[in-house]
Amino acid sequence: MDLAGSSAIVTGGASGLGEATARRLAGEGLRVVIIDVNDEPGKQVADELGAVYVHADITSEAEVIDAVEAACALAPLRALVSCAGGGGIGGRTIGRDGAYASAHSLDSYKNYVMLNLVGTFNVVRLAATAMSRNEPDADGGRGAIVMTASVAAFEGQIGQAGYGSAKAGIVGLTLPVARDLSPAGIRINTIAPGMFDTPPMRAWGTEVRDALAASIPYPKRLGNPHEFADLALHLVRNSYVNGETIRLDGAVRMQPK
């Protein structure tokens, strides 16, 4: 896909995988709009890149529409990389004492699904709507979307019912949405990253991170966010990759805990 003279949206672009992707896309000449709720780092990254920062909750229709309109005002929106989300260990499905009150919090579960799955779909549907108004390129393409799942979609660990099922939902979205968007010439793919050297991972400390790195078959290290960004850019550009989920994990397979 020819991205010259285009804009791109990166959700979660204030840090981690999203920041690396925003930097990669800006380096390719795209006009980037960063969506995040962490204003200070988001504005700092945007200033460094000559990008636009928009404070937006990805589960809000109105706020995401404003961000999409901001991108369209810069140039035709032809790329979306959805990195916003969050998770980890949310608790086991049942407690040890057999009491209803000890079961997994329903509000906590809903929060995982809202942020990771519903929020992702909200951004996808609105960005794709704007893309559908673009003039098609020589291949009939009007835009490309990359969603972010996780290896937890396939091997969710103990305590990851909420996060794992929400990320599995993103994998489940990929093919039907690709089929929905195909008549408009819009592709969508998903990256399922493994263990990456991002701020949440750094919070675990060196000893834990080294142990996790040792569990990865090859290369025995945490992923670098620029490797995610490289794949995201490839998926945006390669017009024949559509409806696919790609693991980016050094061949790791997560154990139960």
Which residues are catalytic, by number? 163
Any residues with CB less than 8 A from the CB of 65 and at least 6 apart, and which? 126
Please state whether 204 falls in left (phi above 0), alpha (psi between -120 and 50) or beta.
alpha
Return the HEC string of 137-156.
Answer: CCCCCCEEEEEECCCHHHHC
Cβ neighbours of residue 75 under 8 Å, at least 6 residues apart?
Answer: 5, 6, 7, 30, 31
Helix ranges, 38-160 (H): 39-49, 61-74, 106-113, 119-131, 152-155
- Three-class secondary structure of residue 246 per DSSP: strand
Cis preceding linkage at 225, omega within 30 = no
How many angstroms from the chain centroid is the CA of residue 157?
20
CA distance 235 to 188: 8
Q: What is the DSSP letter of 31?
A: E
Q: Are 83 and 115 in contact (CB under 8 A)?
A: no
